[in-house]
Amino acid sequence: MSKQNLSNYIKFLNHITDLEQKGLISSKQKHLLKMNLKTKEQLLEKLICSFEDEHNNQNAIFSYLNVIEPKTRARCHSSQENEAPLMFRNNHNTHSQVTSFNESRLIAHLDDLNDELMNIWQSESQLLFNQEINEKLKKVGELIAKTATSTPCGSQKQVINAIETLSIIDGLKQLYKDLKQHFNDYLRCHILLMDNQFTTQNLYKMLRAFMKNLVDADEVTFIINNELYTSTTEQFQDIQITEKQQYEIDLIQDGKVIDLTEFYPELGALFQTNQYKSNYVLRIQNSQCIFCFHLKGERKTIIRSFLSLCNEYQFFDEVNQLGFLLLESLKQARVQCFNPLQLSHMIQDIGIAFIRCSKYVFIQKVIEMLQERYLVYKENTSFSSDYPYVEFDFRDSLNLSIYICMDLNKKDEMNVYKQLNLSYNKYLKFIKQCYDRTTFYKFFVKSQDSLIFEFDKQGQITFVSQPITKKLADDFGINFNSQKLNSSYKSIFRNQDLLQHIENQLQEQNQWILKDSNAPYEIFMKMEEKYFKGFFVIFQQGWFRYDHQKELDASQWNKLRKTIMESETKLYLDKLEQKHPQLKNSVIQMFKPKSIQKQSLFKNFSPSFSPNHLDQRNSLQESENVRRIPKTKGVNHFYSDMLIDTCIENINNQNFNILPYSNDWLEKQKVVFQILKNNNFIQEYKINETSLCNFLCALEYKYNKRGNQFHNYDHGVTVMQCTHAICLEMMNTKHGQLLTQFIKFALILASLCHDVSHTGRTNIFEINSLSNLAIRYHDKSVLEQHHAATSIKLLCSPSTNIIPNFNSEEFREFRKLFIANILFTDITEHYNLMKSFEARTCEINFGTKEDVRLITGMIIHTSDFAGGAKPFPISKEWSVRVNKEFQEQYTLEGKFGYPQLPYMKDLDQLPIMAKSEIGFFTFIVRPLWTVMSKFLEDRLKDNIDNLDNTIIEWQKLMIK
Ligand SMILES: [Zn+2]
């Protein structure tokens, strides 16, 4: 083969890949072209030899396809496997067969056709199906026309079913596309902020675009401190609230979004709701503001009903945040005091939160769509049906699932079900991508020394991280207008060198490239990548300097109390680290409040982090899957009579030790059972013993399924036992009466469940790996929220519900306490909790409901380190276990290029582990137990003695 030919072959292969991606040829056609290339088909050989320029080549390929295609259809088909009887397949191409009517043959044909349609529709090459599908649909239509009049009802029904199936499947696909399109567009509205002369008018425009995109609202009105603001006039005006208006205002429940149109005549008149199609009102939390969104509803948008779903799907917090942002921004606009970068952060946080919630729009629309054809029941209705049904679990933290009466043995119903799965998964993936992008964006918004432009695959601008300084604009001939949302890079960059550089890079069309690193700018690109098809231009320090520092100080957005507490904690930690320099790289870092941690974390993230990172996540998931082989040795079923008549040593005091039973699942369950019994919970709350056995079984399984070294059922039971023992001590103190039976139950059960389904990694790892959990819980107490949700799910499921006798109010209260307790086990709450608790115990009015929350939080948090507070040999075993888990994580982080935490390094070497443990016990565990013990009138002295001894023993091991 000559060199010329070789390059033509490569060109040809690139071409057809390109054509397929653009949807100009089908994957089948591409396959065919490749086959013919392999078999050296003569015409094709000629064509390739005569390749000239791109345009002509393309046309040559098209006409080649036209010439050869009829042959291929037949060939492809006969080689394809399908379920239709063989005789029909052989006859498939003779159209006349269809008209000579035969019912079973017709059905077979329809089936055949249907299969083909499904294959194409559900294939990944999305771009091509519109064209192709239409063609196929036409054929189905023809078939119907030919047969329907003479067909008995049986097959006519078949035809109608097939069409209905197609329309539902089409609807599901369209839903995915529409929602995705909508939120992709939203991501652009950030550009509006990036004006060097950011004016009030820009702000208004930006806020309008923002709320229109997120909740389809056109105008807002709100009342705050006897002033009424309406966005139509952009004015505040003084008002006197009448008694009747006040009455209606008082009716607005906290935490709910209310459709104002119906029952609020006075407020309706005040807010002029009759000018709009829908009006939603809410009380902004922690402020006196009554806030109203107005929707004109001229144009039907996909997120039309978003706000009306808020109460059912529990995303009040997000709506509240949006309202708060609008309220604060509009208030600030009055005094001309706002900061685009700060706004940028807030709109990204809120934006991504709404994108996450947009899946409820998806879910709601799916339900509506399916209801047109199937019976669909939402969870919570006691469901049973004679007709076959499937449960579709939306895998959401709300535990949403629906029951659809469909028979998966029927091919068309199976296809609908498959499509539902496919579309939903794709949408979740899209949400994840948005999350990735936001993380990436935020990095650059924060950056002091770089500025990034992002362009989509058409070369249109999608993101700018900061306002363009004049110097940068002058140096590179940048002509950027923040108000033009669809500018192309050609109109933005005027500098010929830069443009040429971009063009060159674009032509290479391959991996992320960082070339010409001596140039004052860098261009990253990724053209063929699944996640991102555009490119970035990054300007690095030296050329770019942000000169708006002054405005940063003017911000008054953070809540004062939190800021003070954080800065106090930071001060304390700084001092501590000054005194003990070894702590800087120690496990103590994990206990810092997240806001302090984050700054140091971000230092480890380099811009090149993101692209590589996205690729690596897939391989991470693979390796995680391997690890997730269930490792529980637990027995699936046991009965309550196996649990009675036991006498467990030290079950009611701090000398209890679970390690001897580590391999005895039954003994552990006996411990749990005995503790519940000793507290009289089983009797008092009429806990059904079968449900209890089921619950404990499920719990043990979920704790142990990953085979974690430390965060397993042994740890859960130990923490529960310790909590139980501390409660017994507390009952004998002057504060004993604060622990009611109900509060104790929520506390002790929470301590048993507090680490269920633990991944064996820290929150930081979950966040850095952008794991599903991190995304689900917005990086906030990721694992803790997961433990709580998992437990609550068990408590809601009929077979494992041990508290079915609670009425709904009791359950709500129980759930609240239970979750709050688990959230206190997030170690980044450590300093805040200690500080608040110490401060409160000194107050005269100590004993409020909030104080009891702090007490139970302290008890569970202290108990979380129960293993460590045992005599040294036992304590050491727990330390070894947890350090093994850290070590494993450190290795994985290295493998996937996530920031590695230095204090997790080399923990398998005893002196290094000893050093780490000394810091941990001296500065975290011992102070914690000391505060707890003091509160319990010195009843935990023995544990503190143990801790002192443990520190001494570790010191010996460090020196060795
Ligand atoms: Zn724990």
- Segment 75-91, tens digit of pLDDT: 333 333 343 333 333 44
Examine the pLDDT at 192 and tell me if it is beyond 70.
yes
Q: Which of 717-726, 769-778, 895-904 has the highest mean pLDDT?
A: 717-726
What is the rounded radius of gyration, in angstroms, for the C-alpha atoms of the chain? Answer: 32
Q: Sorting pLDDT into bands at 50, 70 and 90, what band is 139?
A: low
Three-state SS at 900: coil
CATH code at 674? 1.10.1300.10
Determine the average pLDDT of the residues in 669-696.
Answer: 92
pLDDT of residue 10: 78
For residue 590, report the distance from its CA to the centre of ligand 1, in Å.
Answer: 14
Which two structure tokens, joined as six digits, stand for 566? 């954080």
* Residue 243: predicted pLDDT: 92
Stronger pLDDT, 523 or 245, i.e. the higher one: 245
Distance between CA atoms of 808 and 366, rounded to whole angstroms? 29
Distance CA 690, CA 752 (A): 18
Spatial strand order in the sheet of 219-224: 235-238, 227-230, 219-224, 290-295, 278-283, 258-259
740-763 pLDDT, tens per residue? Answer: 999 999 999 999 999 999 999 999
d(CA 917, CA 878): 11
pLDDT of 958 higher than 50: yes
**Which amino acid appears at position 932 of this protein?**
M
Answer with the residue of higher pLDDT: 322 or 27: 322
Å from CA of 596 to ligand 1 middle: 22
Q: What is the pTM of this model?
A: 0.48
The average pLDDT across 330-353 equals 76
Report CA(785)–ligand 1 centroid distance (Å): 13
One domain for residues 209 and 263: yes
Does one domain contain both 511 and 533? Answer: yes
Beta strands in 185-284 (DSSP E): 219-224, 227-230, 235-238, 258-259, 278-283
The Cα–Cα gap between 273 and 123 comes to 47
Q: Is residue 432 in some structural domain? A: no
Residue from 422, 424, 426, 385 nearest 405 by CA: 385
Cα of 752 to ligand 1 centre, how many Å?
9
- Find the 213 Cα to ligand 1 centroid distance in Å: 41
Task: Write down which residue in 310, 344, 378 finishes a domain.
Answer: 344
783 in the same domain as 834: yes
Average pLDDT, the chain: 79
Is 669 in contact with 638 (CB distance < 8 Å)? yes
Same domain, 177 and 265: no
The answer, yes or no, to whether residue 513 has pLDDT greater than 60, is no
Q: How far is the CA of 863 from the centre of ligand 1 (A)?
A: 8
State residue 334's pLDDT score.
Answer: 72
742 and 624 in a common domain: yes
In a domain, 556, yes or no: no
Do 467 and 614 belong together in one domain?
Answer: no
Q: Residue 610: which region, alpha, beta or left (left: phi > 0; alpha: psi -120 to 50)?
A: alpha
Note the pLDDT tens digit of each residue in 401-423.
888 888 888 878 888 888 998 89
Per residue in 427-468, pLDDT tens? 988 888 888 778 778 777 776 667 888 888 778 888 888 888
pLDDT digits (tens, 9 = 90+) for 847-897: 999 999 999 999 999 999 999 999 999 999 999 999 999 999 988 888 877
**Shared domain check, 740 and 609:** yes
Amino acid at 808: S
Q: Which of 916, 538, 625, 595 is nearest to 780 (CA)?
A: 595
Whether 152 is covered by a domain: the verdict is yes
| CA 722 to ligand 1 centroid distance, Å | 12
Whether residue 207 has pLDDT greater than 70: yes
The Cα–Cα gap between 59 and 65 comes to 10
Does residue 717 share a domain with residue 830?
Answer: yes
Instruction: For the beta carbon of residue 225, count every other beta carbon within 10 angstroms.
Output: 9
For the ranges 4-18, 96-110, 239-253, which has the lowest average pLDDT? 96-110
Residue 228's pLDDT is 93
Q: Comparing 383-387, 853-857, 905-909, 931-935, which segment has the lowest mean pLDDT?
A: 383-387
> Do residues 885 and 711 touch, judged by C-beta distance below 8 A?
yes
Q: At a CB cut-off of 8 Å and minimum separation 6, what does 527 contact? A: 457, 506, 509, 510, 533, 535
Are 840 and 953 part of one and the same domain? yes
Instruction: Indicate if 179 and 199 belong to the same structural domain.
Output: no
Last residue of a domain, one of 344, 366, 394: 344
Q: How much distance in Å is there from the Cα of 563 to the middle of ligand 1? A: 28
Q: Does 666 have pLDDT greater than 90?
A: no
127 contacts 22 by C-beta, under 8 angstroms:
yes
Residue 253 domain flag: yes
Q: How far is the CA of 156 from the centre of ligand 1 (A)?
A: 62
Any domain includes 430: no
pLDDT at 608 over 80: no
Number of C-beta neighbours around residue 637 at 10 A: 8
Whether residue 122 is predicted with pLDDT greater than 70 in this model: the reply is: no
Query: In this model, does residue 616 exceed pLDDT 80?
Result: no
Distance between CA atoms of residues 430 and 927, nearest Å: 45
- Cα 440 to its chain centre, rounded Å, is 15
We report the CATH number of the domain holding residue 232 as 3.30.450
pLDDT-derived band at 499, boundaries 50, 70, 90? confident
CA distance 407 to 235: 58
Question: Which ranges constitute the DSSP H helices of 122-233?
Answer: 129-147, 153-187, 200-215
> What distance in angstroms lies between residue 638's CA and the mean position of ligand 1's atoms?
26
| Residue 924: burial class (beta carbons within 10 Å; 0-12, 13-18, 19+) | buried
The CA-based dihedral angle spanning residues 559, 565, 567, 568, taken in that order and rounded to the nearest 10 degrees: 160
Q: Could you tell me the distance, in angstroms and rounded to a whole number, from the CA of residue 699 to the centre of ligand 1? A: 14
Give percent of the chain with pLDDT exceeding 70: 77
The reply to whether 402 falls in a domain is no
Number of structural domains (the chain) is: 4
The Cα–Cα gap between 136 and 117 comes to 7
Q: Taking CA 195 as the corner, what is the angle to CA 193 and CA 200, rounded to the nearest 5 degrees? A: 70
Neighbours of ion ligand 1 (CB under 5 A): 755, 864
The residue ranking higher by pLDDT, 329 or 756, is: 756
Q: Which residue's structure tokens are 């879910």?
A: 363
- What is the mean pLDDT of the segment spanning 700-714? 91
With beta carbons less than 8 A apart as the criterion, state whether 747 and 821 touch: yes
268 CA → ligand 1 middle, Å: 51
Instruction: Provide the pLDDT for residue 588.
Output: 78
Dihedral pair phi/psi, residue 237, rounded to 5°:
-140, 145
Domain enclosing residue 269, as ranges? 195-344
C-alpha–C-alpha distance, residues 157 and 177, integer Å: 30
Under DSSP, the state recorded for 22 is: T
Q: What are the angstrom distances between the C-alpha of 246 and each of 226, 235, 400, 431?
A: 11, 22, 37, 41
Residues 461 and 491 in one domain: yes
Q: Which of 35-44, 211-220, 306-315, 695-704 has the lowest mean pLDDT?
A: 35-44
What is the CA(866)–ligand 1 centre distance, in A? 9
Q: How far is the CA of 758 from the centre of ligand 1 (A)?
A: 9
**Ligand 1 centre distance from Cα of residue 715 (Å):** 7
Where among 183, 207, 240 does a domain terminate? Answer: 183
Q: What's residue 904's pLDDT?
A: 84
Indicate whether 459 and 329 sit together in one domain. no
Q: Is residue 188 part of a domain?
A: no
Does the structure show a pLDDT above 70 at 490?
A: yes
Q: Which of 329-343, 363-377, 782-796, 906-920 has the lowest mean pLDDT?
A: 329-343
280 against 160, higher pLDDT: 280
Q: pLDDT band for 716, please (50, 70, 90 cuts).
A: very high
Beta partners for 539? 451, 521
> Does residue 593 fall inside a structural domain?
no
DSSP-derived pairing of the beta strands 219-224 and 461-464: unpaired
Token couple for 802: 């041990």
Alpha carbon 706 to chain centroid, angstroms? 22
Where does the pLDDT of residue 114 fall: very low under 50, low under 70, confident under 90, or very high at 90 and above?
Answer: low
